[in-house]
Amino acid sequence: MSGFLNSSIGRKYTMALSAFFLMIFILQHFAINILSVLSPDTFNETSHFMGTNALVQYGLQPVLLFGVVYHFVMGFILEIKNRNARAISYAKNNGAANSTWMSRNMIWSGGFILVFLIIHFLDFWFPEINTKYIQGDMSGLLADGEGYRYYEELTHKFEPIWRVALYCLGFVFLSLHLLHGFSSAFQSVGANNKYTKGLKGFGKAYAVLIPLGFIFIALFHHFNH
Amino acid sequence: MNLTLKIWRQKGPQSKGKMVEYKVTEISEHMSFLEMMDVLNEQLTNKDEEPVAFDHDCREGICGMCSMYINGEAHGPDRGVTTCQLHMRMFKDGDTITIEPFRAKAFPVIKDLVIDRSSFERIQQAGGFISVNTSGNTQDANAIPIDKHAADTAMDAATCIGCGACVASCKNSSAMLFVGAKVSQYALLPQGQVEATDRVKNMVAQMDLEGFGNCTNTGACEVECPKGISLENIARMNREFFAASIKG
Amino acid sequence: MSVLDSKVPKGPLKDKWTTYKDKINLVNPANKRNIDVIVVGTGLAGGSAAATLAELGYRVKAFCYQDSPRRAHSIAAQGGINAAKNYQGDGDSTYRLFYDTVKGGDYRSREANVYRLAEVSANIIDQCVAQGVPFARDYGGLLDNRSFGGVLVSRTFYAKGQTGQQLLLGAYSAMNRQIARGKIEMYNRHEMLDVVKVNGKARGIIARNLVTGEIERHSAHAVVIASGGYGNVYFLSTNAMGSNATAAWKIHKKGAFFANPCYTQIHPTCIPRSGDYQSKLTLMSESLRNDGRIWVPKNMEDVLAIREGKLKPTQLSEEQRDYYLERRYPAFGNLVPRDVASRAAKERCDAGYGVNATGEAVYLDFKSAIERYGLEQAKIQGIQDASKEKITALGEAVVEEKYGNLFQMYEKIVDENPYKTPMMIYPATHYTMGGVWVDYNLMTTVEGLYCIGEANFSDHGANRLGASALMQGLADGYFVLPYTIGDYLSHEIRTGKIPTDSPEFDTAEKEVTERINFFVNNKGTHSVDYFHKRLGKVMWDKCGMSRNADGLKEAIAEIKAIREEFYKEVKVPGSANEMNPELEKAGRVADFLELGELFAKDALMREESCGGHFREESVEIDGEQKGEAKRNDKDYAFVAAWEYKGEPSDAVLHKEQLEFKDIELKQRSYK
């Protein structure tokens, strides 16, 4: 299997597998976030569960972290390799004639998503880790002890317009990334058959609707608080 | 029509090349692109300049020798054709046409527009065959019936002419369409099954060794392929490779 | 007694090959490892021979001028490959394939060779399927056949319109396997420029590395030439740009006799020339004639109006059209053999009825076929009172299914839609039946020097049937040469490695180098193509589809004059020590300029019409066959093998009398 992981196709496989995992994760993330619009209480409860459940915290969270890191690191490694595969670039290249902008610029959409993720981690994940595992406060309650803190924290973050704008932009890039990435992941694992056409349509819908949903949530909280 | 040509000139494999501009006049729209190049070369010869070296042979789109990157596309702007089948009616009077060799680290330039595609040869040698000796007593050709659909799909994969347009068009210089087509042809036929595991592993290993890039599924290769080889062949190779790796 | 010994084994025709194989000497595996064989050319014949010899254990060095063996021009063959499998149960047999081939060749081939070819044909299909060649199959999963070239059975196996490509890739894959095993040393982008003889035996070649310009010496115990035909002597042909006769011509100059150079096949269905810039002609499969009807306008005014663009061919009524093949040959109609169809097109165009600007094109019309298929489909689909448009659409769909790729190719080249307006076609040089003389063992008149495939004078006599070239190439390479060469090599086991520092190699290399230096230093005024085009024009006009004594005499003088001017005035830019395509062309055209003259000399000698060689003086004068080709079996039933003596005009004729014991000689009639 080590041969597999060092081969070009093996690496594509693992890129696709991590992508599948991340796409499922995003779906789940979205499902929880949309609760903040529909029912703040349910949102709080679900957040608390996710934030304190041992299986999620010690099982899924490390896998997720590994998936994210792997997808980015391997993405960059492959990009460098791919660039090196052509020593002299074309004086004139008409890429638009044969492929989409999204497919040719995964490294840029991915790169911007990375910037966004760093900010996102600074905003939410690091404070969470700090509160729970450094301060040792696993209660999930607000400082005054009156109810859960998650919804408050969320709405608070979306007050400054610059952050909302940045998040929206981040999701636009996520959409661009997914517009190619969704169907590309299936092709990478060898799924290209009579279902491919339908799958591509579904992928496009996913790539547009999910980020749009996130944008909606961000705007909703910005304008309602 | 009159045209301005910007052509990559490079004296030899080790020399540094550069784009050089030429003018050609009175080009007929019925000429093939290579016949237009013939006109330029005749003109250069008469002026005691060295003609532009380019690969070509059959001039009917089947040998896979011609390999020009024209106005930013492998084999130029037309679809389903090689450079030799590209006709000048695709261009307009007064156009400037940029002509470069297929570029990839695994396809080093030999001279001007001529490239070295021996990396493709080595990939084929790594496993692009069925090990059967010529004995005159192999079993009868009709001994194993083959599903028509599988035979036709194998034939579609086998129409690859090995020109390298897929590599040239790919932003990553990946050779996956070429290798995928060859792996697919054999994977689809019962005769190819015996060696399937080793074949795909060896061919992919050689492909990686040659310094081709990785496939990122942009699909540019499929669009530019003069023979319309489908991306399905890459997917099939990925499956084959995965299965082979698990088998060990 | 002729100096030519065909070495045909004794015994009944049917047993010759089997008996021969039983009796030949073999080389033991341990000795094979120490024997070198050089194969020049990697098409169907060379590729299959190189692979098979390597499988047997010989050390093989293979050479091709392209950047890969897979690019040899065998790849361009479209239609199919014949084999006497009788899968269709329509009465085919080895004998019938043998008979059709001899008859199709107008009784100018060697019986024993052709029978052997028919005999091994079935093995070829087995071998190719085992290699993974994706032949067309029917819904039951079994191999499909089509009928071809006017024979009475369906024996042609095919892989879409790319049969040559698939067979070549099969041979190429077999080569790759041996290259990987280290049994074949492959020399791509190398051109053989001379053969080296030591004590009368072929012992190696001088080759030029086309990338670096380096001159290399390669030694071997036997040399096999599989470099294809010489159709490019016409400049314009359906051959590849690089197809050349240099290897064949060089061995001719070193003692291999050259046989029947005047037998060339002009294929009737090619896309016409559109202007003087044209570099090559494109063939469209003969199968188009199954459904297309060939015609020119009846009236000269219509011809002129069409040429000026004032009239469209579709505007002409049936009465205004001359379906000249159907008129002249009611029995076979549009399906007469290639040579007959080509000459008939030339006859009409010479009479002024050519329909394009150059006056060299006739129509191939699918209108009737589209209508016929359309009506058929309407009936099948149960459509009552189908409109004319509906019928046309249904018919077009059927035609597209059958010939779609050819129609698309035509449209790309000519920029006209052949579904809506008739195709224009004109004959073009396609294949050369003549070539290096070989005996039953495929050995030339030089010991240890073999010649296979289109390069030899072959099994096709004076005319080749469709789908037989692929069969011959693979038969020679896979199943014949590997046996016959073993018989010769069995005497070489004590020879040891052939040194390349002998005086013979020195001399050969010196000659090659001097010739190259001559070209790069010759400060002439005209490019190589300038001379090649002039040679081509003489060949086409005077040694083309029909020939006469006066024209041939003129051709001989003119070619000689062009050759002399060539050596004075040719200009080759660049240097010898680099990749130099113009230099490569110069050497090839120099050889064509000699071969062309021998061609005309041979055509002049053969005062009969047979197959692809039509002498205007030798036609039927009266009776039903009036105006048709007249063969002369009494005086010309021989192979003309020419011995090189300096100038082509000095070549000496040797005759190998052809004996037909199993076949009665008949006139070919298509009326």
**Between chains, do C573 and B48 touch, taking CB under 8 Å as contact?**
yes
**Between chains, do A86 and B235 touch, taking CB under 8 Å as contact?**
no
Higher pLDDT, C148 or C423: C423
The H helix count followed by the E strand count for chain A is 11, 0
Q: What is the mean pLDDT of residues C329-351?
A: 90
Same domain, C217 and C148: yes
| Helix/strand/coil for C261 | coil
- C-alpha pair distances (Å), C179 with each of B52, B81, B200, C28: 32, 31, 18, 22
C442-468 as b/e, with b when 16 or more CB fall inside 10 Å? bbbbbbbbbbbbbbbbbbbbbbbbbbb
CATH number of the domain encompassing residue C545: 1.20.58.100
Which DSSP category does C362 fall into?
Answer: E
| Number of C-beta neighbours around residue C623 at 10 A | 7
- State the pLDDT at residue C529: 96
**Between chains, do A192 and B232 touch, taking CB under 8 Å as contact?**
yes
Say if residues C112 and C16 touch (Cβ distance below 8 Å). yes
Q: How far out from the chain centre does Cα C192 lie?
A: 20
DSSP per-residue string spanning B197-212: HHHHHHHHHHHHHTT-
pLDDT at A144 over 90: no
Same domain, C484 and C567: no
Q: Per-residue pLDDT tens for C252-289?
A: 999 999 999 999 999 999 999 988 899 999 998 888 88
Q: What is the mean pLDDT of residues A196-216?
A: 96
Alpha-carbon span C599 to C610, nearest angstrom: 15
- CA dihedral over B128, B132, B133, B134, signed as positive or negative: negative
Domain range for C336? 271-428
DSSP per-residue string spanning C561-577: HHHHHHHHHBB--S-SS
Q: Is the Cβ of B219 closer than 8 Å to some Cβ of chain C?
A: no
Q: Is the Cβ of B124 closer than 8 Å to some Cβ of chain C?
A: yes
C422-431 as b/e, with b when 16 or more CB fall inside 10 Å? bbbbbbbbbb
Annotated domain spans of chain A: 14-85+104-224
- CA dihedral over A89, A93, A97, A99, signed as positive or negative: positive
For residue C158, give both structure tokens.
């095919």
Q: At A48, is the pLDDT very low, low, confident or very high (cuts 50, 70, 90)?
A: very high
State which of C385, C406, C428 marks the end of a domain.
C428
pLDDT at A6 over 80: yes
- State the pLDDT at residue C624: 85
Same domain, C209 and C91: yes
- State the pLDDT at residue C1: 46
- State the pLDDT at residue C175: 98
Q: Residue written as tokens 């289109």?
A: C454
Say if residues C551 and C558 touch (Cβ distance below 8 Å). no
**Between chains, do B223 and A192 touch, taking CB under 8 Å as contact?**
no
Q: What is the mean pLDDT of residues B29-40?
A: 96
Tell me the pTM.
Answer: 0.96
- State the pLDDT at residue C290: 84
For residue C433, give both structure tokens.
């039946």
Q: At A143, is the pLDDT very low, low, confident or very high (cuts 50, 70, 90)?
A: confident
Alpha-carbon span C352 to C340, nearest angstrom: 19
Active-site residue, selected from the candidate residues C108, C217, C273, C338: C338
Q: Is the Cβ of B63 closer than 8 Å to some Cβ of chain C?
A: yes
Q: What is the mean pLDDT of residues C178-196?
A: 98
How much is the CA Rg of chain A, to the nearest whole Å?
20
Nearest CA in chain C to B54: C581
What residues pair up with C206 in beta bridges, in sequence order? C194, C217
Same domain, C97 and C60: yes
Q: What is the mean pLDDT of residues C97-114?
A: 94
DSSP per-residue string spanning A89-134: --SS--GGGTS-HHHHTHHHHHHHHHHHHHHHIIIIIHHHHIIIII
For residue C359, give both structure tokens.
């006056």
Q: What is the mean pLDDT of residues A64-88?
A: 96
In this structure, is residue C15 part of a structural domain? Answer: no
In this structure, is residue C628 part of a structural domain? Answer: yes
The H helix count followed by the E strand count for chain C is 19, 19
Same domain, C473 and C519: no
- C-alpha pair distances (Å), C478 with each of B134, C128, C175, C332, C461: 7, 10, 12, 35, 21
Which DSSP category does B140 fall into?
Answer: P
Same domain, C166 and C229: yes
C250-287 as b/e, with b when 16 or more CB fall inside 10 Å? bbbebbbbbbbbbbbbbbbbbbbbbeebbbbbbbbbbb
Alpha-carbon span C524 to A52, nearest angstrom: 90
* Total number of domains constituting chain C: 3
Say if residues B238 and A13 touch (Cβ distance below 8 Å). yes
**CB-based burial of residue C183 (10 Å sphere; 0-12 exposed, 13-18 middle, 19+ buried)?**
buried
Out of B59, B162, B189, the one facing C280 most closely (by C-beta) is B59
Same domain, C215 and C329: no
- State the pLDDT at residue C2: 65
Using a CB-CB distance cutoff of 8 angstroms, which residues of chain A are in contact with residue B77?
97
- State the pLDDT at residue A1: 59
pLDDT at C150 over 70: no
**Between chains, do B158 and C159 touch, taking CB under 8 Å as contact?**
yes
State which of C397, C428, C459 marks the end of a domain.
C428
Strand intervals (E) in chain B: 3-9, 18-24, 68-70, 73-74, 96-101, 109-111, 114-115
- Phi/psi for B230 (5° steps) reads -85, 150
Residues 6+ apart with CB under 8 A from C107: C461, C610, C631, C633, C637, C658, C660, C663, C665
In this structure, is residue C13 part of a structural domain? Answer: no
In this structure, is residue C131 part of a structural domain? Answer: yes
For residue C211, give both structure tokens.
């990338």
Say if residues A113 and A174 touch (Cβ distance below 8 Å). yes
**CB-based burial of residue C400 (10 Å sphere; 0-12 exposed, 13-18 middle, 19+ buried)?**
middle
Q: Per-residue pLDDT tens for C612-654?
A: 999 999 999 988 888 889 999 999 999 999 999 999 999 999 9
Alpha-carbon span C462 to C471, nearest angstrom: 17
Same domain, C310 and C184: no
Q: How far is B73 from chain A (nearest CA, A)?
A: 6
Containing C184, the helix (H) or strand (E) segment is strand C184-187
- State the pLDDT at residue C337: 83
Nearest to C356 by CA among B30, B60, B85, B27: B30
Question: What's the farthest any 2 CA atoms get from each other in chain B?
Answer: 63
Interface subset of B 150-179, CB within 8 angstroms of C = 151-152, 154-155, 158-159, 161-162
Domains of chain B: 3-111 (3.10.20.30), 117-131+143-247 (1.10.1060.10)
**Between chains, do B57 and C66 touch, taking CB under 8 Å as contact?**
yes
Rounded to two decimals, the ipTM of the complex is 0.98
**Is C146 designated active site?**
no
- State the pLDDT at residue C274: 86
How much is the CA Rg of chain C, to the nearest whole Å?
25
Q: What is the mean pLDDT of residues C242-252?
A: 98
Same domain, C405 and C450: no
Same domain, C434 and C424: no
Q: Do chains A and B touch (3 or more CB pairs under 8 A)?
A: yes
Same domain, C242 and C284: no
Using a CB-CB distance cutoff of 8 angstroms, which residues of chain A are in contact with residue B8?
91
Q: At C669, is the pLDDT very low, low, confident or very high (cuts 50, 70, 90)?
A: confident
Q: At C554, is the pLDDT very low, low, confident or very high (cuts 50, 70, 90)?
A: very high
Say if residues C80 and C156 touch (Cβ distance below 8 Å). yes
Alpha-carbon span C12 to C24, nearest angstrom: 18
Q: Per-residue pLDDT tens for B192-213?
A: 999 999 999 999 999 999 999 9
Alpha-carbon span C28 to C74, nearest angstrom: 33
- State the pLDDT at residue C474: 98
B128-137, C180-189, C597-606, range with the lowest pLDDT: B128-137
pLDDT at A2 over 70: no
Q: Per-residue pLDDT tens for C209-238?
A: 999 999 999 999 999 999 999 999 999 999
Same domain, C297 and C370: yes
- Phi/psi for A184 (5° steps) reads -60, -40
Nearest to C364 by CA among C403, C319, C394, C331: C403
Say if residues C636 and C664 touch (Cβ distance below 8 Å). no
Higher pLDDT, A146 or C323: C323
Q: At A79, is the pLDDT very low, low, confident or very high (cuts 50, 70, 90)?
A: very high
